[in-house]
Every structure is written in C-alpha cells, then in structure tokens.
Structure 1
Amino acid sequence: MAFISLSAAVLSGGKAERMSRQDKGLLLFQNEPMALSVGRALQQVSDCVFINANRNLEAYAKLGFEVVADDQGYQGKGPLSGLLTCLAFVQTTHLLISPCDTPRISAEAFEELKEAALSNPEKICYLSGVSGTHPLHAILPVEHGLAALKYFLDQGQRYSVLSFYEWFGCQSVVWENGEELLNVNTPDELV
C-alpha cells in the first residue's frame, strides 16, 4: 500500500462532559473557535479538510468546512464512532485526524505525522510527547483501516482508540512541542 493522497478531519463529535456539555469545537480560544484553529492547521498539509460533528452542524458549517455526522449504527462508541464515520467518508488513501480541543496544534506536527506515514503507509501513526500519547492526532490508511475498525467495533470488547491502533499495527511519533498538545477540557483552560 502506498501513501498517495490525504484527507483531514477535525473530530468535534464528543459529549464534552468536563466542559458542561458545551460544544468544545465552537468555544473560543484566543478569540477563535477551536475547531477553526485546528482546521486551519490541517489545511496546510491536506487539500480536503472536513469536520466530524454530531450537534450544531450549521454552526460548524459556518466555519467554512463540510460537516459529517457519525454513522447511526456506530454511535455511542466514543471517538471510534467518529473515526469510523471519517474513514467511510473520505476518498483518499490516508486520513489525518485531530481533535477540536487542541487549538495550539501546528501544521509542523501534522507534517511530522505525514513523514512517518510516508515511511510506513500500512500502519497508523500517532503523536506522543512528554504528556503521554495523543492517539487522536493520527494518520490512518483508509481502506484497511475502515475494514479493520468495523470488525473491531463489531467484536464489541473495548472502545479504546489506542487498543484499536495496537491491534491494527501502529507507530508512535514523538512531538517535542508539548504546548501544542494542550487539550482544552475545562473552562479554566480557555485562555
């Protein structure tokens, strides 16, 4: 399998329980919706960027990206629901994903993932850093990833993103700039 083409998705479909159920991707971080900040960084490495969201679809569409909601048959399985929807939606060989609540992420971090995927196109490549693993910053092979994820979800054992990656075959990519991996989960972190 070769790395030929790349689509990118901003994952904004979570419940945001620690954020009083506010839609995190639409919350402002440094005067800009977080999903927009992430989407702009993704645009620097991919021609096709879209948002995966399950509520406030019109508000997300106003950010200038196509919006895709989770597949009804796989809802309730955490981030893997969104991942499955994104893999099924794209027409490229690979998919780059990033969560909406990491507004400091840079195109350089995505370039690092892209380089790793070019070297190992059959594996899932994800970021890790001093703060731990960041599996929702990843590049996945689309065709094999979609088939494997459907099988994994149908087994119904665990809905852990990292468990799926390890089962599929993955590679961690170290990103030294820990500030960029800030995950905004509480109102206090909206600076």
Structure 2
Amino acid sequence: MVTPSANSAALTLSHVTGLLLAGGRGSRMGGVDKGLQMLNGVPLAQHALQRLLAQQGGPLGAVRVNANRHIARYQALADQLLDVGSAPVLADSLPDFAGPLAGVAAGLAQCQTPLLLTVPCDSPRFPLDLAQRLLQGLQVSGADLAMVQTRQQVAPGQWQSAKQPVFCLMKVSVAAGLDAFLADGGRKIGAWAAEQTVVVVLFDEADYGPAAFANANTQDDLDGLAARDVGHQQTKNTEHE
C-alpha cells in the first residue's frame, strides 16, 4: 500500500488509481444503465476500461469501478480485463443516484494511492495520454486537482473552450472536503471543483480530434459515436486500397 502524500512531484502513474464512473441514473437515455449499452458490440464501460488500461506512461497503480446497478455484470467485466477481484466495484454510499460526486467520494474512500483519476463510462475515446498530462499539470502547478479543458472549433475561425470536470486527477487529501460538501447537500461536480485549488489542462481538438471527449448521454449520441466509428473505418480502408 502506498502512503498518500501531499507532495506529487515524484509521483508516477503507478501512484494513480483510475476510477470508472458508471453509477448514474441514465435519465437522458431512458433510465438505462449507460455503461452497459453497446457500442460496436462492446459495452461502453469496457471501452472506457480498456482506455484506462492502455494509458501512456502506465500502468496505473489500481483500477476501480463505481456502479449502483448490475454490480455482478460490472464485476465480471472488470475481471475479464484485469486479475480477478483486483478491480472491485464500489457503490455510492448516498442513496438515489446522487450524481458523479457520490461516485468520486466512494472511490476516494477506498483509494490506496495518493492520487485518484476519474473518467465517465460514456466517453469511450478519451485520450491515451490523459492520465500522463493531468499528472504533469498537477506536478507543475502544485494544485490539488487537475481538470480537462477542451477547445473545439465551432465555426471557421471560432473556437469554444469548456471544462470537463468528470475527467480529473485529484489528491486523496480532498476527500474530507468532498464528504462535507455532499453532507451539506452539494451535488454539482463543477461547484465542488470550483472550491478546490485547480489547474486546467488543455486538450485541443486540433490535436485530439472531435471524438476525444464525445460522450453518449442520449441514444442519438450513442448512434452518432457508432456512425463516426464506421466512417473512420471506411476512411482507413480507403487509404489502404
């Protein structure tokens, strides 16, 4: 067991626990368990777990899954990809699908590394250098939390930036403050993050492409991800003809 430390300068990805957040209600997709919805014949959660396991500069020190339904199915999925029992599924301690922060709190409560990396189950194409770049941002800044900020082109010559608070790397020392925030009724991950010492790390669409942080909040979003994959494969096939 690695003893958590406030000093992140010497830490590597072996000191990071990756937490897949799959505990949502899925209300915008009709109440289904989003992490178990299929993309190209594979559950969204499996796509995301595979991205965590393939992180550049890895492997991560540990992997956990946060889920509140179909616990056995998520555990079986994790056991397929990792050593059996090495990636336990953690449920929220708060009732009624209290949001991603409840999942983060569950992960922090069980985290045995100095740092926790969170990713959502419905973004199957996040960058393979996500953990590495967030760790670098944390080390350079001395912040308690490193968060993704995307930059996308919305029109010729027009760009839009947006913070992505579910994609973040944090020190386990934020756990007590998060528990207090939740106890006071706080639920918005952006509001909690705004109270932390945060560094934002820019992931530019020009470097990573428009699909890097695309998520499947709705069935249309999921269909769009599938169509994009088909188009990408067709382009690759054409290039090799």
Q: Same fold (TM over 0.5)?
A: yes
Checking the alignment, whether the CA contact within 8 Å between 2:20 and 2:64 is kept in structure 1 is yes
Distance 1:75 1:187 in 2: 23
User: Is 1:121–1:141's contact at 8 Å kept on the other side of the alignment?
Assistant: no
Secondary structure of 1:105's aligned partner:
coil
Distance 1:168 1:116, change over 3 A: same
Partner AA of 2:35 in structure 1: G
Does residue 1:24 correspond to 2:34, yes or no? Answer: yes
Return 96-105 or 59-68, whichever deviates more.
Answer: 59-68
Unpaired stretches in structure 2, ≥5 consecutive residues: 1-5, 79-86, 153-161, 227-241
Give the residue type in structure 1 aligned to 2:76.
Answer: K
Q: 2:139 aligns with which of 106, 118, 143?
A: 118
Asked if 1:148 corresponds to 2:170, the answer is no
Indicate the residue corresponding to 1:82 in structure 2: 103
2:76 counterpart residue number:
62
Question: Which residue does 2:155 correspond to in 1?
Answer: none
Q: How does 1:126-141 map to 2 (within 5 A)?
A: 126-130=147-151, 132-141=162-171
Aligned-residue sequence identity (percent) comes to 28
1:13 positional shift:
0.3
Q: Structure 2 residue aligned with 1:104, among 110, 125, 134? A: 125
**Alpha-carbon offset, residue 172 of structure 1:** 1.2
Match of 1:164 in 2: 192
Q: Structure 1, residues 98-149: CA drift from partner, whole Å, max 9, x if none?
A: 000000112212321121122235421111112521100000101x210110
The one-letter amino acid of 1:62's match is: A
After the TM superposition, which of the residue ranges 162-171 and 97-106 deviates more from structure 2? 162-171
Q: In the alignment, which of 208, 211, 217 is matched to residue 179 of structure 1?
A: 211
Q: Given the superposition, is the C-alpha separation of residues 7 and 39 from structure 1 closer, same or farther in structure 2, using an over 3 Å criterion?
A: same
- Structure 1 residue 189: Cα displacement: 2.2
Report Cα offsets for 1:76-105 as digits up to 9, x if no partner.
Answer: 431111111011011110000000000011
Structure of greater relative contact order (alpha carbons < 8 Å, 6+ residues apart)? 1
* Contact kept in structure 2, 1:12 and 1:35, CA below 8 Å: yes
| C-alpha deviation, 1:154, in angstroms | 2.3
Deviation of 1:173 (Å): 0.9
Q: 1:91 to 1:24 in 2, by over 3 A?
A: same
> In the aligned structure 1, how far is the partner of 2:133 from the partner of 2:25?
29
Aligned residues: 188
State whether residues 9 and 49 of structure 1, in contact with CA within 8 Å, keep that contact through their aligned partners in structure 2: yes
TM-score (normalised: structure 2): 0.73
RMSD of the TM alignment (CA)? 1.7
Which structure has the greater CA radius of gyration? 2
- Name which of structure 1's ranges 56-65 and 13-22 shifts more when overlaid on structure 2: 56-65
